[in-house]
Every structure is written in structure tokens, then in C-alpha cells.
Amino acid sequence: MDRQICGLSSMATRLILAELSEHIRLAHGIPVRFESAGGVEIARRVREGAEADLLVLADDALAELESEGHLLGGTVRPLWVSQVVAAVPAGSPVPALDSESDLRAALLAAERIAYSTGPSGTALVDLITRLGLADTLRDRLVQAPPGVPVGSLLASGEADLAFQQHSELMDLPGVAVIGPLPGDTAISSTFSGGVPVSSTRPDRALEVLDVLGSDTASKTARARGMQAARAQG
């Protein structure tokens, strides 16, 4: 059997990649293992010389690494798109989220609002600023540590409203997903794959990347709250 292909990924794609790694091993005979952590942490490791055969990160993070020379040219490809959703603790009242005014009301009613260190968190803070609520909500925002699911802050009672990628909030105990943000406030993130210059098997890594972009992978991603990037038009 071939040497194991080792990948690094952000937490948002952890479950998708775990399922697909088993499929790739069984259907294609390529052993694959992904280690997942917060996207900021993975990017830091790569910059500090961590060796890997594949990276799966938010598109902007991967683009920065590519521009810095950490990825082999021409290997980056968009894989999946994830919508940011709002969630509340299970069993608590579920606010309406059908319009921008509903979103504003939910934000203003919340005592503690949890968000991530990843791209969804950055986008949420930008959105709150755009809505003119930055000063009002500043002391209510709670940022989860890197690699810690925002939903855990809901389940533990540390927040009563949270925003993160759907893939990271769905099916968590103690968490009720409300749904995506309405209209022009919607936030989505594209996750892409690429082969780092540290890969010792770039040919095999590209084969794995092809499978990650396949229809089979798209079905797995949909079950985990994401869509194929190409399905976004």
C-alpha cells in the first residue's frame, strides 16, 4: 500500500474529510489522514514549516498561503461552499430570521453572541459594523478560542446566540440551528484544497484532490451542510 497522504484542514471540513478519507482508502487504495485545527492555527503551522501533502482551508487563507509561495502553482481548486447559520441553545425560544430587521432584533435581544476566529467570525463582525451595531454589541461578543466549536458556548450557557459554518453547528447536542442569515446579510465561505510545496507525493496528493472535487465528495459535503463550489454558479 502507498505511503499515507497527510493533510491539514480547518475544523469546518473535519467530518467531511474524515468520511471521504475512508472512501478514498477503500475505493482508490490511497491511505489518507487529515489533521484538523482552527484555520488560523493551520496557516501558522504551514508558515512555520509544517509538512503536509494537502491543505483544505477557507479560500482566502489558502490564497494568502499561495501568494507567499507555500503552495505548488496551479494546484488550488475550490471544493465546497458553506453558509453561516445562526443558532441558539436547544430548548430556548427561536427568534425569527426572515429579514434584516429580524436579524437586528435577534442581535439586540441577545446577551452573549458567540462567533469564531475563522472567516465566518470575521464576516460576522464586519456585518455587525455594517448594520451600525458595533458599539452597541461590542461587550456582548464572545469569540470562541481557535479550534473550539462555537456551538459549545451555546451548550454550556456561555452564549445565547451563535454564528458559524453550518457544518460546525449542525447535529451538535444542546444546539438548535435557526438557519442562514437573510437576504443581503447572508454570509458564505468557500473551502478550497491545494498541494503545499512540502508534499513529498504531489502526484498522489493531486489524485486525492481530484476525488475531493468529485460528485461522490459533493454528496458527502451536502450531508454535512455544504454544497459543491461549482454548484454555486
CATH number of the domain encompassing residue 128: 3.40.190.10
Range of the domain at 65: 5-81+191-232
Same domain, yes or no: 217 and 199: yes
Same domain, yes or no: 94 and 59: no
Q: What is the residue-averaged pLDDT of the chain?
A: 93
Average pLDDT (206-220) is: 95
Tens digits of per-residue pLDDT, 115-142? 998 888 999 999 999 999 999 999 999 9
- Cα–Cα distance, 104 to 86 (Å, whole number): 12
Same domain, yes or no: 51 and 122: no
Same domain, yes or no: 102 and 35: no
Same domain, yes or no: 109 and 77: no
Same domain, yes or no: 91 and 177: yes
- Cα–Cα distance, 8 to 10 (Å, whole number): 7
The C-alpha cell that represents 130 in the structure block: 455594517
How many domains, in total, are found in the chain?
2
Average pLDDT (154-166) is: 94
Residue 233 has pLDDT above 80, yes or no: no
Q: Could you give the maximum distance between any two Cα atoms of the chain, in Å?
A: 58
Question: Nearest 5°: phi and psi at 158?
Answer: -80, -10
Same domain, yes or no: 130 and 181: yes
Same domain, yes or no: 30 and 76: yes
Q: How confident is the model at residue 2 (pLDDT cuts 50, 70, 90)?
A: low
